[in-house]
Amino acid sequence: MTQTDWDSEAVEPVLRVLHQAGIAVNAAVVAANLGAVGAGRPSTAEVAAALAELEDANYVRTLGDTDDYYLITDRGSGHVSNELDAEGFGFVD
């Protein structure tokens, strides 16, 4: 799937944050980090919609029994490595 196939503009930045985080995070954490790095300021609802789209495509999965915390899958990591340029923003410390 390419960037132009996504319904939401927030999908690629959300995927990059999850890839760089390496831990399970929720939509509010992703939205806060995207705002902090100047990658737009998607709302928590927009990030949640992007996460749902990514989950449907098997790019992310929920953590255990939760519906709120997401991890990137191997497929999602592969997409980030192959499709997104190396000049993208970094994860906020």
> Residue 60: CB partners within 8 Å, gap ≥ 6?
15, 18, 51, 54, 70, 71, 72, 73, 76
Smallest CA-to-CA distance from 87 within 44, 37, 40, 42 is with 37
**For 16-61, how does the pLDDT look when each residue is reduced to its tens digit (9 = 90+)?**
899 988 899 999 999 998 888 776 678 899 999 999 999 999 999 9
The domain spans of the chain are 3-77
Q: What is the CATH topology of the domain spanning 3-77?
A: Arc Repressor Mutant, subunit A (1.10.10)
pLDDT band at 12 (very low <50, low <70, confident <90, very high): confident
Residues 43/27, Cβ–Cβ less than 8 Å:
no
